[in-house]
Structures are given as structure tokens and as C-alpha cells.
Structure 1
Amino acid sequence: MSDFDKLGQQMSEMDTTMDAWISKLDLGYNHYAVLYSLAAAENGECTQKQICDEWCLPKQTVFNVCKEYKEKGWIEFSESAVDKREKILRLTADGKAKAEPIWAATHQLSDKVFAKFGKRKTEQLFALMAEFCVVCREQIDKTEITDKVA
């Protein structure tokens, strides 16, 4: 098994672990992403594009979740002053009542996990991950592919 295979397995395990957390909150990944993003948003506002970019979700998926939450009365849309095609999303009072406990519980979990993992190991983990990404990007840039698949 290659090191990339091992890395893929660890990343998959992390995804599975986070999916277990999201499931415990009685949500699916896409619904969690929208609620969490809105609860964490600066000034309580964000766009569908910001959610798509942050969570690597398709535009249509985010649109459908937002439409569902609008119908439930959890979010409201307003036009962007910068781009009239872009909609600004904001939680309503009912939406805040649903999203803020999810955001708070996730942060409590994070605090507990990283406290148990330890400050030194946490700093090492993030430093090594950042360094690994730099090395990986450098090697990708240097690697020539001679037989490309069409």
C-alpha cells in the first residue's frame, strides 16, 4: 500500500468520524454545512457561493437546502449591494434557534477533542499538514505527465 493510499484511508476515516457527529446532530452533511455556515458567518450573513466554496458542495445542492430552509422560515434572502445576481443569506430567529445550538455543540466538541489531543500535538498536526500541502503542490508542479488520459 502506498503512502497516498494510507493518507486516503486516514482522510476517509476523518470524514466518517465527522459524518458520525453530523448524524448525531440528526442532520445530513449538506444541511449541516448550510446551518453551520450561517451560524458562524461574519455579521450573520453569507452567500450560497461562500457555502459552496467552503464545503466543496455543488451550487444546486446548496440552493436546494437554502430553498428548503427558506420554506421552513429559517433563513431569509436579500440582494447583494455588490452583485444583484447574488443573494445574501441570513438566519431568521427560528433559524438561529436551530443553527446556534449546532454551532455551539460543534465548538464544544472541538474544544474537548483538541484539549485531549494536546496543544503541542495539535500545533504539530496543523504545521505538518500545511507543510505536506506545500511539498505536495511543489511536486505536482514539477511532475510532467507524458501519457495523459483523454
Structure 2
Amino acid sequence: MHNDLQRVRHGYYDLWFGTNAVYERWAKAHGLNNNMLLTLYLLKEYPDDCTQHLICEKLMLPKQTVNSILAGLEAKGLVTKTVSTADKRMKLLVFTSQGAAYADELLQKMDDFEERALRTMTARQREALLEGGQAWMTALRNALDD
């Protein structure tokens, strides 16, 4: 039984590392790195409440790394910081009009890329991907809490 569990863990790491490598390659082909790509994704997904803290939390990146990414996006005129009306201490990150157009085009290309890949899988494989991933995440959280 131990060998089977070890095989699954090793297979999972191969999957995780391989998936990250594919996204890193895709991002590089579009002039970015994976962290920049995912930051743009989060800015688009959380248009009304995206903060540096949220990006750090979601991507599990240090504050300094996210700060560097955001500084680069600000320098390119893609992102700006605004003060939250709900909490004046909080700075919200929002796309400029140029940034929104850039992110929309880039993230549409990523959507198209992912959909091409998903179409090569059967509906059963796609559902198994989600079900297995959710089960794994739940099991990891439960193991962490034990």
C-alpha cells in the first residue's frame, strides 16, 4: 500500500511541476512570467476588491515579490492604486483603460489556449480532473488540521 501512495504522490508532483512549466512557457511566449500572468488574472477576477494582500494570499507569494510585479505593471501604465472608500487604509488595485484592454486580450488568449486543451479531453476526464482535485485539496486541508 505504501508504494501505491508513494506512486500517487510522485505522479501528483510530476503533474504539478509539469502544469506550472506549461503555464510558465505560455507566459514567457507572451512576454511575461507566470506570477505576472496570474496577477493579471486576479486583477481581472477581483475588479472591485483586489489588493496586494489578496494577490499575496492567492498566489502564496511574498509581499516583496508582489510589490515588484505591481510596480512593473504601474510603470507600464497598466495598473493604478486607489484608496478604498470602505477603508481608507486599504489601497485597491485597478486596471487603467490601457491595462484592461491589455489584460482582456491576453487573458482571452489564455482562455482559448486552455479551452483547446480541455476539448482534447472527454467530459468524463474533465469532471474527474475537478473531482479529484477537489478531493485532494479537502484531504490535504483535513490532514493539515489533524
Please state which band the TM-score falls in when normalised by the shorter chain.
Answer: 0.7 to 0.9
Equivalent of 1:14 in 11, 19, 28? 19
Please list, as runs of the form range in 1=range in 2, the aligned pairs for 1:31-50 lying within 5 A after superposition: 31-43=36-48, 46-50=50-54
State the TM-score, normalizing by the size of structure 2: 0.83
Aligned counterparts of 1:96 and 1:125: Cα–Cα separation in 2: 31
Given that residues 47 and 94 in structure 2 are in contact (C-alpha distance below 8 angstroms), is that contact kept between their aligned partners in structure 1? no
Match of 2:92 in 1: 88
Identical pairs, percent: 24
Partner SS, residue 88 of structure 1: strand
- 1:44-70 per-position Cα deviation (integer Å, ceiling 9, x unaligned): x51112222222221111112212222
Aligned counterparts of 1:131 and 1:141: Cα–Cα separation in 2: 15
State the TM-score, normalizing by the size of structure 1: 0.81
Given that residues 79 and 88 in structure 1 are in contact (C-alpha distance below 8 angstroms), is that contact kept between their aligned partners in structure 2? yes
Q: Which amino acid aligns with 2:110?
A: T
Matched, 1:104 2:99: no
Given that residues 23 and 34 in structure 2 are in contact (C-alpha distance below 8 angstroms), is that contact kept between their aligned partners in structure 1? no
Match of 1:122 in 2: 126
Q: Which amino acid aligns with 1:61?
A: T
Q: Which amino acid aligns with 2:124?
A: R
Match of 2:28 in 1: 23
Q: Which amino acid aligns with 1:68?
A: G
Q: Runs in 1 of length 4+ with deviation above 3 angstroms?
A: 135-142
The more displaced of 121-130 and 80-89 is 80-89
Q: Which amino acid aligns with 1:116?
A: T
Matched, 1:54 2:58: yes
CA 8–46 in structure 1, closer or farther in 2 if over 3 Å, else same = same
CA RMSD of aligned residues (A): 2.0
Q: Which amino acid aligns with 1:102?
A: L
Aligned counterparts of 2:128 and 2:40: Cα–Cα separation in 1: 30
Aligned counterparts of 2:60 and 2:104: Cα–Cα separation in 1: 22
CA 123–60 in structure 1, closer or farther in 2 if over 3 Å, else same = same
Partner SS, residue 138 of structure 2: helix
Extract unaligned runs of 5+ from structure 2: none
Q: Which amino acid aligns with 1:50?
A: L
Q: Which amino acid aligns with 1:58?
A: P
Higher relative contact order (Cα pairs below 8 Å, separated by 6+ residues)? 1
Q: Which amino acid aligns with 1:104?
A: Q
